[in-house]
Amino acid sequence: MYPTTLPPSSKTVLEILGTGGAMTHKDIVQKSHLAPRTVRYALKKLKERELIIEKFNFRDARQIIYQFRTAQSAKPQQAFA
């Protein structure tokens, strides 16, 4: 299911995002029981492989929301005239 070149921490984070929906870095740390630095590294690797997307957090602009990339989220948004 996951690319074999991903580190174990990235696979864990990807699984959490796939089942738990969109989350902040802090949420991922709490659910995964991984160190914050390890989660940052895992997110970096997932972003490099375009397996997750980042969204703006309207509740707290200091935090980013991470989401598992689906076929629907990968489609570009169309503007309506």
Asked if residues 68 and 51 have their Cβ atoms less than 8 Å apart, the reply is yes
Mention the CATH class of domain 8-71: mainly alpha
- How far is residue 25's CA from residue 23's CA, in Å, rounded to a whole number? 7
Q: What is the chain's pLDDT, residue by residue, as a tens digit (81 residues)?
A: 555 689 999 999 999 999 999 999 999 999 999 999 999 999 999 999 999 999 988 888 889 999 998 765 555 444 433
Residue 12 CB burial class (10 angstroms; 0-12, 13-18, ≥19): buried
Q: What is the pTM of this model?
A: 0.79
Place of tokens 């602009």: 61
